[in-house]
Amino acid sequence: MSVVVHDLTVATAFFAALGMTITGRALAEGPWVDRVNGMAGVQVDIVMMQTPDGHGRLELTTFRHPPLVETQPVAAPPNTLGLRNVMFAVESVDDTVTGLRAHGADLIGEVVEYKDVAGCVTRAALPASLSCWLKISALSPEAVKSVHV
């Protein structure tokens, strides 16, 4: 999964607060990058991050060229078409929300407890440098070990 961001430093710190670690950084450009993106002259900075369990990866990308395109509204509602969220399993929703607030996140709505295997789920707004929603789930320690994000 890839998330296009304004500020790689802010975004990297945000996802590091979720326990992710940097596995690589790169400037990507050239004919193959142009072909993959369907655009000419693409230059992107990329930070690859890995989930704590080692099974998932997240690519954070910012465009040097062409310039980023803003969407309106910036905080689009959940029924907007397209990729709308990324989900992470954590040991404590409250502790995670507290930690993410230090990186500019805040809740949209309130913490809601689901009566299914997902446990307690909350939706949090991400800092302005990110353009997707985040869902975090508090699961039992056994379930967290078996979840791959």
CATH of the domain at 49: 3.10.180.10
119: region left, alpha or beta (phi > 0 left; psi from -120 to 50 alpha): left
> Would the pLDDT of 141 be above 50?
no
The total of structural domains in the chain comes to 1
Local structure of residue 132 (DSSP, 8 states): S
Domain, as residue range, for 77: 2-146
Q: Are 102 and 17 in contact (CB under 8 A)?
A: yes
Contacts by residues 75-82 (CB-CB < 8 Å, ≥ 24 positions apart)? 75/108, 75/125, 78/123, 78/133
Tokens 């992107």 map to which residue? 44
Average of pLDDT values for 83-112? 73
pLDDT attached to residue 118 = 46
- Could you read off the pLDDT of 29-88 as tens digits, one per residue? 999 989 988 999 999 999 999 988 888 888 999 999 999 887 776 666 667 766 666 677
- pLDDT band (50, 70, 90) for residue 113: low
Q: Which residue has the higher pLDDT, 75 or 90?
A: 90
